[in-house]
Amino acid sequence: MATSPKRGLVLVADDDPTMRLLMLEMLAQVGLDAIEAEDGVKALACYHSVAPDLVLLDVDMPGMDGFSVCREIRRLETQASVPIIMVTGGDELESVTRAYEAGATDFVSKPINWPILGHRVLYVLRASDAISRLRIADAQHRAVLAAIPDTFFRMNKDGYYLDYEQGHEASSVFSTERCVGHHLSQVLPADIAGHMLEQVQTVLDTQHIRSLDYELPLPGPAPRVRQGEHPAPRPVRHFEARLVATGPDEVLGLVRDISERKRSEEQIRRLAYCDSLTGIPNRQAFLETLEAELARSRKANKKFAVLFMDLDAFKRINDTLGHDVGDHLLKAVSERLRETTRPGDLISRTEAATNLARLGGDEFTILIPDLERVEDALNVAHRVKEAMRRPFLLDAHEIFVTASIGISLYPEDGEDCNSLLKYADTAMYHAKNCGKNNAKLYSSSLTMQIMSHVKLEVGLRKALQNDELYLLYQPQIDVASAQITGFEALVRWRHPERGVISPTEFIPLAEETGLIVPIGEWVLRTACQQAMAWQTAGKPPVRVAVNLSAKQFKDENLMQIVLSVLHDTGLPAELLELELTEGTLMDDARATMATLEQLRGIGVYLSIDDFGTGYSSMNYLKRFDVRALKIDKSFISGLPLDSENAAITRAIIAMAHGLKMAVVAEGVETDAQLVLLEQYGCDMVQGYYLGHPSPPDTIHRMLASQTALAMT
C-alpha cells in the first residue's frame, strides 16, 4: 500500500498492545509517525523527551490514567498547547466531560472507527496548526499596536465603539471606559461625530481607507478672563483619524495626535506668508487671499475692491536718510495701515491682517470684501491717505509722506486676480500722475485714457521731425524799473488732428517715455537761437528762461548739451536761465548738488520753478545756491483777498531775500496783485497782466517798443 509523506509525530499511549498496533497502522496510513507508551507514566516521560505534535491518550491505563496524564501535560505546557485526543471507553457523557475538563482537545470513543481515525487525527492537527498561527498573528498585531503611539478603536457601522485602546503617546482625551459600548455622539462633539460617522459609512461602502482631521479642546477648565479683556482662545489639540474597514460592518480607527505637526506647519506657513520686515502678509499670502475672495464673491454674488498703495517719496527718504530709516518707515506705515484697516473699518468678516499685505518695496495692498458701494472703497482710501499724511517720528526725524492709491473693483474691472491687481496698480500710477497724494479708481474710462495716451505717444515721437513743436515766450518784468528782463520759453504742440496741445498734457508723457530729452534739447536750442536773433536785430540783451524737467536734469549728457547749444548759438551763458522744480531738485539731493555746481560753473542762471507746491528742505535750499525763486501762481491767484496766501507769499519773499535769491511771482493777472507784490518787495513778475505767452514776432515788437520808450 502506498503511504502518504510523513506529516507529524503522534504519541500513542494505551496499555493494550493490540490497540497501539492498530493505531500506529492507521496513523501510518495517513503519513503520520508515531511512538508508543504503554502506560500513563511512560506517556509523560515520552512527551517530555520527544515533544510530539499530537497525543492520542487512552483514558484507562494502569498507574496513571489518561485524565491525569492530560492534566499534567497541560500543567507543564509553557506556550503552545499540544492537541490531545482522549480515547474514552464509551460514549458516556461523564468521561467526555472529564476529558474536556482535563484539557483534552477532542475525543474518540471505543469501539474505534478505525478507517477514519487517521483522518480525525489529521484534522485535529490542522486545526491546532491554524490556532497556533492565529495566536502568533494576534501576538504580532498586539506588538505592532503597542509599538505605535496612536490610539486605536473598533467601531461598528452604527457608530458604537466596540473597543478603545489609548495610544501610549496620545494626550489623554478620553478613557476606554468612556468609549467602549458608547456611541460616537456621546464621546465627541456633535459636528465631529457626524463627520466621522459619515466617513465610517463611506469606508464600509467603498472598503477604502479614509481619514479626517479634527480638533478638541484640551481637557481642563477654560482660561480665566480678566475684566475688560478678550477671552484668550482655548487651547486645542489636533487629531487625525484614519479609518479602515475590517469587515462588512466594522471599522478599525487609528487616531494620532498631530498637534506638533500642525504647529510646525503653522510656523512654516507663517514664515512663507509673512513679510519679514513688517510682519504683515506678503505678496503670496495676498494672492491666495485674493483668490479665495474671488471664489467666495463669485459664489455669493458679492463685490470687493483691491486698493494698491504706493508711498510718493519713499525713494527720496531712503536716499537721503538711509535704508535703516526707510525700513523703520515701512514698519510704521504698515502699523498705521493695520490700525486704519481694522475689520470694523472694512466692513469685513475676516481678520484684517489677511486683507492687508506688503507686496514689496513701498507697495501695499488692501482687500475690501463685501463692498456695497464704490464710495466705501474711496472712503477707506481717503482714510489711508489721511493716516499717511500724519508725520512719522522716526529716529529723531520727523518724516512727511503721502500716498497714491489705485482702486480696482470686482466684478466691474476684472474677473481674475491678476487683472484686478494690475488694474489697481495702473490706477495707482494714474493717481501719481494726477499729482500724487491721490486715490483713483480704475475704470474703463481709464483704459480709454490709456489708449489715447498710447496714440498721443506715437504722435509725439513724430512731432519733432514733422516740425509740429513751436515756442511761445512770456515776458518777465522787473518790478522796480518796469523793464522786461527776460522771457520764459513755453513749448506748444500743433497736433495735425487735435490742434494745439498744452504742455501740461504732453510734457508728462514726454517725461514718461524719455522723449523729453530730444524735445528739451530742441527747446533749449530754439530758445537760445531766438534770444540771439533778437540781440542781433538790435534789441537789448534779455535772458531767456527754459524749463528743465527732472529727466533732463538727470541726463548724463546735460552739461554737454548746454555747452554745445551755447557754443552753437553764441548766447552768453548768463543770458540762459534754467528753471527747475522743487521736486527735481529734491529727488536726489546729493546728485543735484553736483549737477548744479557744474551748471553754475559755466555761468548759467538757475531758478526754482513753482516754488511752494513741492517739498523743499531749507537746509538743501541754502546749499543749492540758486539765483531766483519763482512763487507758484496758485499762491498769487487769490491775492490780494486771500490773507493766508498773502502771508505765505510775503514769507517766501522774505525767506528768499534772506538766502540772497531774487523772487519772481508767476501768474500775475491783475493790477492789485502787482501792487501788493511790489509792496512785499517782489523783484520780478510774470503773468497775463504783463503779457501772455506770445510768438517771437510779438515779442520782437514788445522789445522794440520798450527800446523806443527808453530812448524817449
Ligand X SMILES: Nc1nc2c(ncn2[C@@H]2O[C@@H]3COP(=O)(O)O[C@H]4[C@@H](O)[C@H](n5cnc6c(=O)[nH]c(N)nc65)O[C@@H]4COP(=O)(O)O[C@H]3[C@H]2O)c(=O)[nH]1
Binding site for ligand X (CB under 6 A): 474, 490-491, 502-504, 507, 520, 523, 547, 549, 579, 609-610, 633, 666-669, 687-688, 693
- Looking at the Cβ atoms of 579 and 683, the one nearer to ligand X is 579
Q: How far apart are CA 381 and CA 655, in angstroms?
A: 36
Residue type, position 252, single letter: L
* Separation in Å, CA 437 to CA 16, 287, 381, 404, 529: 118, 26, 11, 5, 40
Considering the complex, state which of residue 160 and residue 522 has its C-beta at the smaller distance from ligand X: 522
Helix (H) / strand (E) containing 306: strand 304-311
CB-based closest residue to ligand X: 687
* 473/485 Cα distance (integer angstroms): 13
The x, y and z cell numbers of residue 78, run together, are: 509553557
Instruction: For the CB of residue 500, give the shortest distance to ligand X in the complex, in Å.
Output: 10
Closest by CA position to 469, among listed 519, 435, 430 = 519
**Closest approach of Cβ 705 to ligand X, in Å?**
20
CB of 597 to ligand X, least distance (A): 21
Would you give the DSSP letter of residue 183? B
CA distance 369 to 377: 10
First-to-last CA distance in the chain? 161
Smallest gap from Cβ 439 to ligand X, in A, equals 24
Q: How far is the CB of 533 from ligand X (least distance, A)?
A: 18
Task: Kindly tell me which of 663 and 668 has the beta carbon lying closer to ligand X.
Answer: 668
CA neighbours closer than 13 Å in the CB half-sphere of residue 65: 10
Q: Which CB, 503 or 640, lies closer to ligand X?
A: 503
Residue with smaller CB distance to ligand X, 474 or 485: 474
Rounded to the nearest whole angstrom, what is the least distance from the CB of residue 567 to ligand X in the complex? 21
Q: Identify residue 311 by its one-letter amino acid code.
A: L
**Least distance from ligand X to the Cβ atom of residue 511, Å:** 8
For residue 110 the three cell numbers come to 471505543
Residue 264: count other Cβ atoms within 10 Å of its Cβ. Answer: 11
CA-CA distance, 257 to 78, in Å (whole number)?
39
List, in sequence order, every residue forming a beta bridge with 546; answer none if it has no partner: 489, 578
Considering the complex, what minimum distance in angstroms separates the CB of residue 472 from ligand X?
Answer: 7
Q: CB of 508: closest distance to ligand X in angstroms?
A: 9
Measure the CA–CA gap between 136 and 519, rounded to whole angstroms: 95
* Residue 318: alpha-carbon gap to chain centroid: 25
Who contacts 145 (Cβ-Cβ below 8 Å, separation ≥6)?
152, 165
Would you state the cell numbers that stand for residue 244, as one nine-digit string? Answer: 479602515
CB of 281 to ligand X, least distance (A): 41
Closer residue to ligand X, CB minimum distance, 238 or 492: 492
For 552, the grid coordinates are 533732463
Distance between CA atoms of residues 397 and 146, nearest Å: 66
In the complex with ligand X, the residue whose CB is nearer, 612 or 667, is: 667
**DSSP string covering 311-326, please?**
ESSHHHHHHHH-HHHH
Choose between 125 and 515: whose C-beta lies nearer to ligand X. 515
d(CA 612, CA 634): 9
CB nearer ligand X, residue 40 or residue 475: 475
Residue number, 170 or 523, with CB nearest to ligand X: 523
> Contact, 73 vs 84, CB < 8 A?
yes
